[in-house]
Structure 1
Amino acid sequence: MTARKQLKLFDLTMIVIGLVIGMGIFRTATDSAQAALTPGIYFAAWIAGGIIALCGALTYAEIGSRFPITGGYYKIFAECYHPSVAFAINCIILISNAASLAGVALIGSEYISQLIFSQPASDVAKAFIAMGAVTIFYFVNLAGLRMSSRTQNVLMIIKIGMVLLLIGALFFPGASGAALHPSDALPGGGLHPSDVLPPGSASDGWSAIDYIKSFGIALIAVSFTYGGYQQTINFGDEVSNPRKTIPRGIFIGILVIISLYLLVQMAYVHAIGFEQLKTTKGIAAVVAEKMFGPSGKTVFTLLLFLAVLAYVNVLLLSNPRVMYAMSKDGILPKAFSRKDEKRDVLTVSLTVFAAICVIVLFFANTFDKILGFTIFLDSIGMATSAATIFILRKRTKHLDNTGIYTMRFFPLMPLIFISAYAFVGVSILLSTPMLALTGIIVFAVFLGIYFLVVHKNGRGISRP
């Protein structure tokens, strides 16, 4: 066991940062600003998102320490819940991952469409660009091509570089809030508080309940941007001196992420203005244009689209492997484990996952719809997975005081995390009830599939 403990403090810190910082930071600020009645609520949502991420990451780290198994994030459900619930939750997590891929592809299409079209592109056109990206990389993966770790490192450098570039707007002469070109304005929509709040203004007539609702809706977009830390569950048994390294690495990593995200939000508000941020598309490219002119906007847009394509490719690589493992464990039909040995391609899993991504884009062709749907499904998965810590603590008492990581302030941290995602789920239910209802129906359908197909055929989720 000790031979596996290879991750040092710096390694774990970089893993946490790499898991969380994705493409959402280049889009979700607009959705969060649309929902926030005041700048105070806007920044409070970003701070709260970081605190929630910290509580979640530490919770998942202990789960990983008590349940050290490859693919722990999906196998933990089978360990702690009824097979039907585990099956349904694991399936909606895959749907959520597909929706997340679709959402990120739309972020890229929103940016690149500004270079392709002279006039603002329609939602349908942007959805087709996103579908095209998914389709291209589906065939790339089907041909057996793989993205090397070196390319992934370059991608991470590009993303960090773009984030630092945006932060630089705070200190760049002339990059302050000014009138935007009309083509930079969004036509409207998004998760706006007017969907659930009475008419009025941000400074006149709002009640405490209105502010709470506004904060909850703003937190939806923030939750998407902070996602990824749940994968720390897979490293709990591979960390050197876990009692000290895990909390320090996660705390430092989340603190760096919060700092970067807050600085980026300050840069957006500084360069664009809070009210204009609510209706600005391609916010990161707009900031780059203010700093370096039209050529800067073009270069930034191309770099971001390149990063989006790489993200799409990574998810098309990773998720079919999860489906393959689920098939091997009896969670999914055997067909999902079908593999082209010559090209090392999981043909069925890859095809099904890519098809789900395209279907999501077809029915929810705007980022706002995908955002609400994804985070609602995530709310179910996050809350139920974090709740397993209470079950595991009882079942693994024999591991206490054996050197594994155990969080401080238990049960406060997991309760904060679970309550936060329950709050986000309720916020989505109130602001966009049809999206929430769709998520509930999807969950219920998978429950039905389990009893009608999986359980009836004698297959179930085997506990490790």
Structure 2
Amino acid sequence: MSPPLEHEAGVPSGTSGGGYSRRVGLFSGVMLVIGGIIGSGIFLNPSIVAQRVHTPALTLGAWLLGGGVALIGAFIYGELGQRIPKAGGSYVYLRDAFGELPAFLNAWGMLLMIATGAIAAVAVTFANYTLALTGLADGYRFPLAVGAIVLLSGINYFGVRPGALTQNVFTVLKLVALAVLVGAGLLLAGASPSVGTTTPPAPPDSIVLALGAALVPVLFSYGGWQQTNFVAEELVNPERNLPRALLWGVIGVVTVYLLANLTYLRTLGAEGLAASNAPAADALGLLLGPTGRTFITAGVALSTFGFLNLVILVSPRVYQAMAADGLFFPWMARLHPRYHTPSAAIVFQAVWAILLTSTGTYGELLDYVVFADWLVFGATAATLFVYRARERQGQVPRVTYRVPGHPFTPLLFIAAALYVVVGSTASNPLNALKGTLLLGAGVPVFLYWRKRREARATAQVSGTDVVEGPSVPEQPVRSAVSGKRGAD
């Protein structure tokens, strides 16, 4: 067996070699948090914020305010992760606090369109930037996108260690690209001909409404920290390291985002930023010429590739937890006996994501469920009140990591999540309706699998077996509900 990450134990005791292995240390956890948040958004989205608030101060204020909300989210998920350091993250919290149906619908949405659609979309984005960087013909777009999905799925199939190492490398590379952008902007922006040549823009008529509108793209850009909780069972000492990774990772991203926006504003000005379709490329191109544009194009390609790896790495843990509860195909619950990964779930995810890529439906699907991420964030934050109530009643032990400012900070986070959901729904009600119907289609699927589970339980009690298909030498890992733990 290869040496574990961060010099820690590999397969935990009590798993008989069939559970998740703790291979992800604190540094890798921080890289997962940063890599899960920073994709291509910071290179592109700041122009939308500038369009809505107009002035440099309000632009930075919107990103700072969004960072505060993200930090509260990190505190919330840190406490939840310490309470239940199990694979599946929000799926586990929702199931234990509110029941199996909302948890299943979360996992169903991820598998059907949210995670797999994101994989398809990000893979195509990576391919587009690669084509721009290399000058290859458009015909290579699909093979590049599919090749990236297959390559990264293969890496993560063979263990969380190679997946985490890949994530570390590409997260560091995207941070280097952003460091060059920020360094050039702060050091050379004074020489830019665009700085100081325009009249300072007037503030919006209603600052409160403008900031509220700007928060929607800002909060979407900050989303992603929660994905590290999906691999909690594979973190070394998760009760301690998961909250620290979330906190340090989000603080790092907030710092990077603020510095990047300061660079855009110093280089392009507020009006130039609002008018730009690619602020990172425009800013670095203005400062360093064609070399700068080429460099940032490579940086975005690397960033999207790293984000793609992160989604491929963490999402199958949710499907595995769902299947381990008897609510999906039983073979999806099995972990590879050697690599300790949800190998079947990884393959299933890759096949479905490639299908979405080939049909081109991923864009529409993501538009339909754009509100779902923050709906889950808000619902997950609400589980904290359930756990705190159980703690007061002595039903669960008290944890050492506490969300500061409770209950006000979680309520503020829930309000922000609801604002994003309402704003996204109001901006396109038809898409929201379609997304709700797609998510609602999971209800009969849930009822079917629950009935199958009850039938299997009845068959076992009566001494008969329900045939689920050919057996394979991979071992199922039950979730916390069954009392069997994959990694302790």
For the residues of structure 2 that align with 1:304 and 1:83, how far apart are their CA atoms?
A: 39
CA separation of 1:106/1:175 partners in 2, compared to 1, >3 Å: closer, same or farther? farther
The answer for the alignment partner of 2:328 in structure 1 is 332
Q: Paired residue for 1:427, among 423, 428, 439?
A: 423
Amino acid at match of 1:171: L
Q: 398, 402, 408: which is aligned to 1:406?
A: 402
CA–CA separation in structure 1 for the residues paired with 2:62 and 2:287: 27
Counterpart of 1:441 (choices 421, 437, 441) is 437
Q: Which residue of 73, 78, 91 maps to 2:90? A: 73
Query: Which of 122, 130, 135 pairs up with 1:104?
Result: 122
Q: CA separation in 2, counterparts of 1:348 and 1:14?
A: 23
Offset from partner CA, 1:345-384 (integer Å, 9 cap, x none)? 835653445524653782364xxx7875554110111011
Q: Deviations over 1:127-179 (max 9, x none)?
A: x83x5444113433566775554443321221111111111112215663639
What letter matches 2:178 in structure 1?
V
Q: Report the secondary structure of 2:452's partner residue.
A: coil
> 2:186 corresponds to which residue?
170
Instruction: Work out which of the residue numbers 372, 375, 394 in structure 2 matches 1:377.
Output: 372
Alignment-mate amino acid for residue 377 of structure 1: A
Q: Does 1:157 align with 2:172?
A: yes
Cα distance change, pair 76–148 in 1 and its aligned pair in 2 (3 A): closer
Structure 2 unpaired stretches of 5+: 1-8, 13-21, 196-200, 456-478, 483-488
1:294-309 equivalence runs, <5 A: 294-309=290-305
For residues 31 and 444 of structure 1, the distance between their equivalents in structure 2, rounded to whole angstroms, comes to: 32
1:309 Cα shift? Answer: 2.5
Q: Deviations over 1:244-298 (max 9, x none)?
A: x887775554333322211101111222232232342333223222232212322
Decide which moves more: 213-222 or 83-92: 213-222
State how 1:20-419 maps to structure 2 within 5 Å.
Answer: 20-94=37-111, 95-109=113-127, 111-115=129-133, 129=141, 131-140=142-151, 147=162, 149-168=164-183, 169-172=185-188, 176=192, 178=194, 203=202, 208=206, 211-231=207-227, 233=229, 253-337=249-333, 346-347=343-344, 349-356=346-353, 359=356, 362-363=360-361, 365=363, 373=368, 375-397=370-392, 398=394, 404-419=400-415
Kindly provide the CA deviation profile for residues 374-409 of structure 1, in whole angstroms up to 9, marking residues without a partner as x.
541101110111110011112233388855212232
By relative contact order (CA 8 Å, sep 6+), the higher-ranking structure is 1
User: Mean alpha-carbon deviation: is it higher for 141-150 or for 84-93?
Assistant: 141-150
Deviation at 1:57, TM superposition (A): 1.0
Q: Normalising by structure 2, what TM-score?
A: 0.72
Task: Please give the alpha-carbon distance, in whole angstroms, between the structure 2 residues aligned to 1:7 and 1:109.
Answer: 29
CA displacement 1:89-141 (0-9 Å, x = unmatched) = 222244322333344345435544544679xx9xxx79x83x54441134335
Q: 1:419-451: CA deviations, max 9, x gaps?
A: 001001111112222332232222212123223
Given that 2:149 and 2:350 are in contact with CA atoms closer than 8 Å, whether structure 1 keeps it comes out as no
* CA displacement at 1:74 relative to structure 2: 1.8
Q: How many residue pairs end up in the alignment?
A: 424
Quick one: structure 1 residues 326 and 133, their matched pair in 2 at CA, closer, same or farther if it must change by over 3 Å? farther
Aligned residue type for 2:452: N
Kept in 1: contact 2:116–2:353 (CA 8 A):
yes
C-alpha deviation, 1:238, in angstroms: 6.1
Shift of 1:72: 3.2
The Cα shift of 1:78 comes to 1.3
CA spacing shift, 1:325–1:152, aligned 2, 3 Å: same
Structure 1 gap segments, 5+ residues each:
180-201
The alignment partner of 2:371 has SS state of: helix
Asked whether the equivalents of residues 288 and 300 of structure 1 are also in contact (C-alpha less than 8 Å), the reply is yes
SS for the counterpart of 1:309 is helix
C-alpha separation in 2, matches of 1:318 and 1:14: 13
Closer/same/farther in 2, CA of residues 307 and 406 from structure 1, 3 Å limit: closer
- Contact in 1 for aligned 2:47/2:279 (Cα 8 Å): yes
Q: 1:213 to 1:434 in 2, by over 3 A?
A: farther
Q: Deviations over 1:46-99 (max 9, x none)?
A: 111111111111111111222233333321121112322221122224432233
* Mapped partners of 2:407, 2:170: distance in 1: 37
Deviates more, 1:390-399 or 1:15-24: 15-24
User: Secondary structure at 1:273's aligned position in 2?
Assistant: helix
Q: Is the 8 A contact 1:175 1:270 kept in 2?
A: no
CA distance 1:79–1:399, change in 2 (3 Å): closer
**Aligned equivalent of 1:182:** none
The CA RMSD measured in Å over matched residues stands at: 4.1
Inter-partner Cα distance in structure 1 for 2:343 and 2:295: 35
1:340–1:346 contact (8 Å) kept in structure 2: yes
Which residue of structure 2 aligns with residue 198 of structure 1?
Answer: none
1:184 counterpart residue number: none
Mark the CA change 1:142 to 1:430 in structure 2 (over 3 Å): closer, same or farther. Answer: closer
State how far apart, in whole Å, the 1-side matches of 2:441 and 2:54 are.
37
The residue type equivalent to 1:56 in the other structure is G
- Shift of the 88–462 alpha-carbon distance from structure 1 to 2, 3 Å rule, reads farther
1:334 to partner: Cα distance: 2.5
* 1:272 counterpart letter in structure 2: L
1-side partners of 2:98 and 2:374: how far apart?
Answer: 17
